[in-house]
């Protein structure tokens, strides 16, 4: 069964009246540009609210809150099994040390997508596979799964000429693939930004779970920081551990945003919607249940705490491990402190979809009560 949305009053959103809704306004506005683009499939849904938003440039919190209340209806997101509470994790944009030239100091390559990587879209034949894209490669007259992480690390994939940059640490490169984007400070000078370009099609497997099951690390230490500490202490075991996750991410180099633009002001990595992610105001979701680009009110708690973290966010990204209706990955921003919070975050949370008043509801929605 698909998830359902249940219409509620704004008073049902915990902390809605206290949130600095205006902090999410830049993320909403930049998202509108993608949602209303001429070729966007969601253009009919978003044209009216996004046009109305154009009359406001920098609203204060009260004005932005009133605007959303006048143009949207909040809906509780309910999983197919009736649950209204799900998992909220965190991610961030890391900074890695790297070089354009391979050396003993910088031995780990970040690759662009290989030429033989196929993306197969079967939606026309099988509508149930909507939002699913298969990856593979041709062998003779057959399409077979693409190379796994172990195969790629062993040099079996044709990646000559596909290196973007070399970095200094395999565990940092691994977590960069999990985060999906990051910055690399070059030994030659300057900083570049890399973003998600494609994936090899293999399912994501948690190396934290592998370590826990093997008794190598306790569940309470299985955070990103705990896994990195294990890697530093066990360098000889690290390659085999990383190969337990067959999923592999390819990157692209992201050009700087035009000076003075809204994108430059947000200055975040590019998410699945194609716009920069705003620190603390964007999340990754499962688009089989949550429409990409939609405003979401998220009610969760700060990492390792019971202090409420209730705020308006935008569903502008996705992730291989983000599966389920009530499931979100909260973007903490750039740098060490953001990484610390993201690595510790594994909290319960609830989510409300804010949907334009006059728009037809998403196809996965149950009839409105």
Domain containing 52 — which CATH number? 2.40.40.10
> Residue 89's Cα: distance from chain center in Å?
11
Are residues 173 and 207 both part of a single domain? Answer: yes
- pLDDT 10s per residue in the chain (369 long)? 578 999 999 999 999 999 999 999 999 999 999 999 998 988 999 999 999 998 888 899 999 999 999 999 999 999 999 999 999 999 999 999 999 999 999 999 999 999 999 988 776 666 665 556 789 999 999 999 999 999 999 999 999 999 999 999 999 999 999 999 999 999 999 999 999 999 999 999 999 999 999 999 999 888 899 999 999 999 999 999 999 999 999 999 999 999 999 999 999 999 999 999 999 999 999 998 999 999 999 999 999 999 999 999 999 999 878 999 999 999 999 999 999 999 999 999 999 999 999 899 886 543 332
Give the distance between the most distant pair of CA atoms in the chain: 63
CATH of residue 244's domain is 2.40.240.50
Are residues 239 and 296 both part of a single domain? Answer: no
Among residues 203, 225, 254, which one ends one of the domains?
Answer: 254
Residues 6+ apart with CB under 8 A from 77: 3, 5, 84, 289, 290, 325, 326, 350, 351, 352, 353
Are residues 305 and 340 both part of a single domain? Answer: yes
Are residues 109 and 232 both part of a single domain? Answer: yes
Are residues 101 and 242 both part of a single domain? Answer: yes
What is the spatial distance between Cα 205 and Cα 143, in angstroms, rounded to a whole number?
A: 23
Are residues 312 and 250 both part of a single domain? Answer: no
Among residues 225, 254, 283, which one ends one of the domains?
Answer: 254
Are residues 129 and 33 both part of a single domain? Answer: no
Task: Tally the domains of the chain.
Answer: 2
Answer yes or no: is 362 within a domain. no
Are residues 236 and 284 both part of a single domain? Answer: no
Query: In terms of residue numbers, what domain contains 204?
Result: 95-254
Among residues 204, 232, 254, which one ends one of the domains?
Answer: 254
């Amino acid at each position: 069964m698909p998830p359902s949305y249940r219409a509620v009053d704004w008073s049902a959103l915990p902390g809605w009246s206290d949130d600095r809704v205006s902090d999410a306004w830049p993320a909403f506005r930049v998202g509108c540009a993608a949602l209303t683009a001429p070729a966007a499939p969601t253009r009919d849904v978003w044209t009216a609210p996004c046009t109305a938003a154009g009359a406001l440039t920098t609203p204060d919190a009260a004005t932005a809150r009133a605007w959303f209340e006048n143009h949207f209806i909040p809906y509780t997101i309910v999983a197919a099994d009736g649950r209204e509470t799900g998992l909220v994790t965190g991610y961030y944009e890391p900074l890695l040390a790297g070089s354009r030239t391979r050396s003993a100091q910088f031995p780990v390559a970040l690759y662009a997508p290989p030429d033989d990587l196929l993306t197969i879209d079967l939606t026309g034949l099988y509508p149930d596979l909507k939002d699913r894209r298969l990856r593979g490669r041709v062998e003779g007259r057959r399409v077979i799964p693409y190379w796994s992480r172990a195969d790629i690390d062993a040099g079996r994939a044709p990646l000559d000429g596909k290196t973007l940059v070399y970095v200094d640490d395999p565990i940092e490169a691994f977590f960069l693939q999990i985060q999906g984007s990051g910055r690399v400070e070059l030994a030659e000078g300057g900083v570049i930004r890399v973003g998600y370009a494609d994936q090899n099609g293999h399912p994501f497997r948690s190396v934290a779970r592998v370590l826990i099951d093997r008794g190598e690390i306790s569940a309470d230490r299985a955070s990103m920081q705990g896994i990195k500490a294990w890697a530093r202490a066990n360098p000889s075991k690290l390659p085999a551990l990383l190969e337990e996750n067959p999923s592999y991410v390819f990157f692209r180099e992201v050009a700087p945003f035009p000076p003075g633009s809204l994108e430059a002001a947000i200055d975040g990595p590019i998410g699945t919607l194609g716009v920069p992610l705003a620190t603390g105001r964007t999340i990754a979701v499962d688009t089989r249940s949550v429409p990409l680009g939609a405003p979401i009110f998220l009610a969760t708690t700060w990492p390792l705490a019971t202090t409420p973290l209730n705020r308006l966010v935008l569903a502008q990204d996705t992730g291989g491990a983000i599966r389920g209706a009530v499931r979100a990955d909260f973007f903490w921003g750039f740098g060490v402190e953001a990484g610390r919070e993201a690595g510790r975050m594994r909290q319960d949370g609830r989510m409300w979809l804010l949907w334009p008043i006059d728009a037809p509801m998403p196809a996965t929605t149950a009839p409105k009560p």
